[in-house]
């Protein structure tokens, strides 16, 4: 029996991720979170850098801890992070969120839709948790996304702007995917149709219309007119945020988001597309020799970067849990992904997940864990699986 078929088992995974980051990530000197924890033993290897995405993800995580009746300290931790997000990261003069800080001093004020989407997500989860100031952050983040990034002629968000809001020509899949996620969370937190309508538009436009140019697969990089830029970063296969190729993890992540959207919208294409994208993730991405999902691949499944990333597998776990509610066959993938992940990708001592291993599941140091991932992927997908697999009451013993 897969213990992660039970809410109790999943609740322990959820709690383990929270415990790994708390209290080590709480910084009362600078403020906010020191999210750079070594994934092997949890020591803080960079106490000064503050990344917008890491701050927002931390607020999201601890807010979910409150929502899920987790440890009592989750409320304090969420309040602590939200206060830093709403003050230190917010540039009141230019009305946008700063990307990177050294302590409280901005070092990179580039405006990324990706980062602003995570602020909306953080605000939505904090609002669900009843954190003071959360509603203000939801409204502010959504206003920036709509006023600065939304392009109604395309039905999608632009990707990047200068500190003074001059848009770059690059357009990207990832920012729109996480905007869709944040909009769904905002709808859950407020029950306001404006968020659901925008999430539906983004999902429909990207997963059905834009992907028609690449035979239904999700390309990552586009021109200003939303045409696939197939040569983008082809000389930088290990680029941190914009690698070339198709990402099985993002196919699984979109499948998850469509499954969530299908809980609120009845159009048949939503679940049909969710199944197609999950199937593409495992058909293209599964490594038959060593197991696990590749990071990036060609359209025929030939690996570009064959490394195994923890976030990829947690997203596939969340997607398979949600899809198994509609088709039992996906429960088999849920079990298979957990078995592989427990053997290789989850830290057996602390319960956090490793960022990246080689194809053969070796560690090629230095590999401390990404500075923008304070447990957001494993925590989110454990929580979604808890909601999907209702076989016993959740427990945080």
Given a cut of 70, is residue 397 above it in pLDDT?
no
Task: Give domain status of residue 397, yes or no.
Answer: no
Which CATH number characterizes residue 159's domain? 1.50.10.10
In a domain, 130, yes or no: yes
DSSP 259-280: HHHTTT---HHHHHHHHHHHHH
Which among 312, 308, 330, 311 has a CA at the least distance from the CA of 321? 330
Confidence of residue 366 (pLDDT cuts 50, 70, 90): low
Instruction: Tell whether 97 is covered by a domain.
Output: yes
Range of the domain at 63: 3-388
Would residue 394 count as lying in a domain?
no
pTM above 0.85, yes or no: yes
Domain count, the chain: 1
Residue 223 lies in a domain: yes
Distance between CA 246 and CA 8 in Å, rounded?
A: 35
Q: Is the pLDDT of residue 173 over 90?
A: yes
Measure Cα distances from 353 to 279, 309, 383 in Å: 24, 9, 15
Say what percent of the chain tops pLDDT 90.
94
CA pair distance 244, 295, nearest whole angstrom: 11
**Average pLDDT taken over every residue of the chain:** 95
Contact 251, 239 (CB under 8 A): no
**Could you tell me if residue 300 is inside a domain?**
yes
Q: What is the pLDDT of residues 176-215, one digit of tens each?
A: 999 999 999 999 999 999 999 999 999 999 999 999 999 9
Q: What is the pLDDT of residue 241?
A: 86
Percentage of the chain exceeding pLDDT 70: 97
Q: What is the average per-residue pLDDT within 348-368?
A: 90
Active site residues: 250, 377
Number of neighbours of residue 392 by Cβ within 10 angstroms: 11
The answer as to whether 396 is a domain residue is no
In a domain, 317, yes or no: yes
Residues 65-120 have pLDDT tens digits of 999 999 999 999 999 999 999 999 999 999 999 999 999 999 999 999 999 999 99
């Amino acid at each position: 029996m897969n213990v992660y078929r039970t809410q109790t088992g999943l609740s322990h995974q959820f709690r383990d991720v929270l415990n790994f980051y708390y209290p080590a990530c709480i910084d009362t000197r600078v403020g906010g979170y020191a999210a750079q924890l070594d994934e092997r033993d949890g020591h803080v290897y960079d106490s000064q850098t503050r990344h917008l995405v890491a701050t927002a993800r931390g607020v999201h995580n601890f807010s979910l801890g409150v929502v899920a009746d987790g440890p009592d300290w989750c409320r304090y931790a969420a309040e602590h992070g939200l206060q830093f997000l709403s003050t230190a990261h917010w540039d009141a003069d230019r009305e946008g969120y700063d990307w990177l800080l050294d302590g409280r001093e901005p070092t990179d004020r580039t405006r990324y839709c990706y980062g602003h989407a995570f602020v909306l997500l953080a605000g939505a989860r904090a609002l669900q948790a009843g954190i003071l100031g959360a509603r203000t952050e939801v409204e502010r983040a959504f206003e920036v996304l709509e006023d600065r990034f939304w392009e109604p002629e395309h039905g999608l968000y632009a990707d990047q702007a200068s500190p003074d809001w001059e848009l770059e020509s690059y357009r990207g899949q990832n920012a729109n995917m996480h905007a869709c996620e944040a909009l769904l969370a905002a709808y859950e937190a407020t029950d306001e149709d404006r968020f659901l309508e925008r999430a539906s538009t983004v999902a429909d436009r990207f997963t059905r219309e834009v992907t028609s140019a690449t035979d239904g697969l999700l390309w990552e990089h586009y021109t200003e007119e939303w045409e696939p830029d197939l040569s983008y970063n082809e000389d930088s296969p290990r680029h941190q945020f914009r690698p070339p190729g198709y990402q099985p993890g993002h196919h699984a992540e979109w499948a998850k988001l469509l499954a969530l959207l299908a809980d609120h919208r009845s159009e048949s294409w939503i679940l049909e597309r969710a199944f197609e994208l999950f199937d593409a993730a495992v058909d293209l991405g599964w490594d038959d020799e060593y197991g696990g999902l590749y990071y990036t691949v060609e359209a025929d499944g030939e690996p570009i970067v064959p490394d195994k990333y923890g976030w990829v597998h947690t997203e596939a776990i969340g997607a398979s849990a949600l899809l198994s509610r509609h088709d039992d066959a996906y429960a088999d993938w849920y079990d298979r992904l957990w078995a592989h992940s427990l053997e290789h990708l989850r830290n057996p001592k602390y319960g956090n997940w490793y960022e990246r291993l080689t194809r053969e599941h070796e560690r090629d140091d230095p590999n401390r864990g990404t500075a923008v991932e304070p447990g957001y992927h494993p925590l989110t997908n454990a929580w979604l699986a808890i909601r999907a697999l209702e076989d016993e009451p959740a427990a945080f013993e």
